[in-house]
């Protein structure tokens, strides 16, 4: 067998497991691994400006394409603690990423050595597995186990911590005979699928709730086929947005307290049966189970056994990978269709479609005011981008409004950290998506505060030629928190506006505080600011030209009115509409059903 440093064995295993890209920040304690990466030259590396940024880049890389696993690398101590947010975000959304940290030599671990911290204990709650490898000969098997665990069952992140002397030690290892471990995913049985279809057959107004597990399993085509075979309308969750195209006749809208459509909530309330696949009944989708579950039965299909019954007890539960279940659902539905044993659902589907194009269920977007209302910005985005665009966003009023007004037409075209929602996620995640797919049309969307959290990562896009378009809707507020503070009768510590002494007094942006254009340009990227809707289309054309010419991220900042309350509520039957509803077609020219409105 070949003799090599344990760090080299780690690199060779990653190669065999299909890794070609990593994101990270070198440091003294992880330099042995970087030395082997340099020697092999098989894994490209993007140098982040912050280790948390590297972890979010790894997330974006994984989320961009089925089968990807993002890798982020950092040194000992604070590098690992910086990655905790990325690990939490990945764990919450079932996203496999591999975090590798350096560590003090084994003999120094108990001596409070410089930057020596028990990182495996710190990250245990937000990983599928975390380990400090204490024996050099175990390094290749630790990496083998990591990839096996990340891909098996419910996907999720892993952290491997490597002491300096462990990486430097020589071991015997034969990479030529190495093979990845078989992946385990639970699968539904045909008997379970037949029982589920029998229960569905008794329903009059059934719905499918399509979760992010369908996208993780690369099963969106199967979901659409099953919906079409059965005629059952689909409600995607926020993480499942794109499993069925927004303009599909069976796409019934999204349900929830914030990122939802009025017609989606109305359809959920009108249903009598829900088949949830690859979803976790997140509270911002359901509200209280008392309201969400009243008057309807539930089947829950999920890859993780402990998710079934976690939020509420379904009438029937199936532990299965979404793709394995949908393959059987499609097979069984085809057989029943051939035997004419599937119930007729056309009237119910038409009722759901009628709600989708009913003007009373549509929110107005066509405003002409200056400063702009955010609704008009999303209308302009719908006009500007085709069906092949991929949106990247995280949290805040900007993201909530995006889910209410934008359109998504395919899986992995809405890339969003759903449960964790860390501010600052959008910039590095978008860079990770770009690294995964050099040709994709990527539009990131941030409010000003999300943008300010990790905007230093734009320098990474400039250095490594990772162009994408970033739209910043700037109201100079922590908008979502300001809106939630209304219940406390306050507007406290959420204002980002200040009089910027470096901005001319006659410029409208002076009172908004941070001059994002100057900052972006200082980081080596291009930026343009717009004040009114007629400026947006030319700005987007200029951004496209700059990306083509310079191959760097381009920011388009849109100055908004500072106070806009976006629709949200405490229950799916109690969503408060703060702004105008549509009165006619001219109020909603880019709504999905606008072409069908009288």
Which residues participate in catalysis according to the annotation? 25, 51, 423, 478, 481
Give the angle 258-271-590 at the CA atoms, nearest 5°. 45
Question: Quick check: 56 and 89 in contact, CB under 8 A?
Answer: yes
* d(C-alpha 544, C-alpha 37), whole Å: 35
Q: Which residues of 459-472 are buried (b: 16+ CB within 10 A; e: fewer)?
A: bbbbebebbbbbbb
Strand duo 297-302 + 273-277: pairing: parallel
Here the tokens at position 88 are 């939490």
Q: What's 243's DSSP letter? A: S
Buried b (16+ CB within 10 A) or exposed e, 103-139: bbbeeebeeebebbbebbebbeebbbbbbbbeebebb
Contact present, 48 and 74 (Cβ < 8 Å): no
**Longest alpha-carbon distance in the chain:** 76
| Structure tokens, 288 | 């209280």
The DSSP element (H or E) to which 129 belongs, if any, is strand 129-132
Please answer whether residues 433 and 466 qualify as being in contact, where contact means their C-beta atoms are separated by less than 8 angstroms: no
Specify the DSSP element, H or E, that contains 333: helix 322-338
Q: What is the 3-state secondary structure (H, E, C) of 525-569?
A: CEEEEECCHHHHHHHHHHHHHHHHHHCCCEEEEEEECCCCCCCEE
171 forms bridges with which residues in the sheet?
4
> How far is CA 550 from each of CA 51, 147, 455, 456, rounded to the nearest angstrom?
26, 37, 19, 18
How far is C-alpha 486 from the geometric centre of its chain's CA atoms?
Answer: 28
334 SS3 class: helix
CB 469 within 8 A of CB 444: yes
**Best CA proximity match to 92, nearest among 283, 276, 264:** 283
Q: 403-439 burial, b if ≥16 CB within 10 A, otherwise e?
A: bbbbbbbbbbbbbbbbbbbbbbbbbbbbbbbbbbbee
Q: Are strands 170-172 and 3-5 parallel, antiparallel or unpaired?
A: antiparallel
């Amino acid at each position: 067998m070949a003799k090599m440093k344990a760090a080299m064995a780690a690199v060779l295993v990653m190669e065999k497991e299909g890794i070609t890209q990593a994101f990270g920040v070198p440091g003294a304690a992880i330099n042995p691994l970087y030395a082997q990466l340099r020697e092999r030259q098989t894994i490209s590396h993007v140098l982040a400006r912050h280790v948390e940024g590297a972890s979010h880049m790894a997330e974006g890389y994984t989320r961009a394409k089925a089968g990807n696993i993002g890798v982020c690398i950092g040194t000992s101590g604070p590098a690992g603690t910086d990655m905790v947010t990325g690990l939490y975000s990945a764990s919450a959304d079932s996203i496999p990423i591999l975090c590798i940290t350096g560590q003090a030599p084994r003999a120094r671990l108990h001596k409070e050595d410089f930057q020596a911290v028990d990182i495996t204990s710190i990250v245990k709650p937000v990983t599928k597995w975390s380990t400090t490898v204490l024996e050099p000969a175990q390094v290749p098997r630790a990496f083998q186990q990591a990839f096996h665990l990340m891909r098996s069952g419910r996907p999720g992140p892993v952290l491997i911590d490597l002491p300096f002397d462990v990486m430097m030690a020589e071991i015997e290892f034969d990479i030529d005979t190495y093979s990845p471990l078989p992946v385990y995913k639970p699968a539904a049985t045909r008997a379970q699928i037949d029982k589920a279809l029998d229960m569905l057959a008794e329903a009059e107004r059934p719905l499918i709730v399509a979760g992010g597990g369908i996208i993780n399993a690369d099963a969106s085509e199967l979901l659409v086929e099953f919906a079409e075979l059965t005629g059952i309308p689909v409600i995607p969750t926020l993480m499942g947005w794109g499993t069925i195209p927004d303009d599909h006749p069976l796409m019934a809208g999204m349900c929830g307290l914030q990122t939802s459509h009025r017609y989606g909530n109305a359809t959920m309330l009108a249903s009598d049966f829900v088949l949830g696949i690859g979803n976790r009944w997140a509270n911002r989708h359901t509200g209280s189970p008392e309201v969400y579950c009243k008057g309807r039965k539930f089947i829950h299909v999920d890859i993780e056994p402990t998710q079934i019954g976690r939020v509420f007890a379904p009438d029937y539960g199936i532990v299965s990978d979404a793709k394995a279940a949908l393959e059987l659902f499609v097979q069984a539905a085809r057989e029943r269709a051939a035997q004419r044993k599937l119930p007729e659902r056309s009237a119910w589907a038409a009722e759901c479609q009628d709600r989708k194009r009913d003007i009373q269920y549509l929110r107005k977007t066509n405003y002409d005011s200056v400063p702009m209302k955010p609704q008009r910005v999303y209308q302009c985005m719908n006009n500007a981008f085709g069906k092949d665009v991929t949106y990247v966003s995280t949290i805040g009023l900007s993201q909530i409004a995006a889910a209410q007004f934008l359109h998504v037409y395919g899986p992995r075209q809405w890339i969003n950290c759903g449960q964790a929602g860390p501010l600052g996620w959008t910039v590095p995640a978008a860079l990770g998506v770009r690294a995964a797919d050099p040709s994709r049309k990527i539009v990131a969307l941030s409010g000003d505060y999300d943008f300010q959290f990790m905007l230093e990562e734009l320098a990474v896009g400039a250095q490594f030629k990772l162009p994408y378009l970033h739209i910043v809707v700037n109201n100079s507020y922590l908008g979502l928190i300001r809106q939630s503070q209304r219940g406390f009768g306050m507007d406290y510590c959420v204002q980002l506006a200040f009089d910027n002494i470096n901005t001319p007094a006659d410029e409208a942006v002076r009172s908004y505080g941070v001059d994002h254009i100057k900052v972006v340009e200082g980081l080596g990227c291009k930026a343009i600011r717009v004040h009114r809707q007629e400026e947006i289309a030319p700005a987007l054309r200029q951004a496209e030209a700059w990306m083509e010419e310079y191959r760097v991220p381009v920011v388009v900042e849109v100055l908004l009115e500072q106070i806009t309350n976006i629709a949200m509520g405490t229950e799916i039957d109690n969503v408060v509409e703060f702004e105008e509803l549509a009165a006619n077609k001219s109020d909603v020219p880019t709504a999905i059903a606008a072409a069908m409105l009288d």
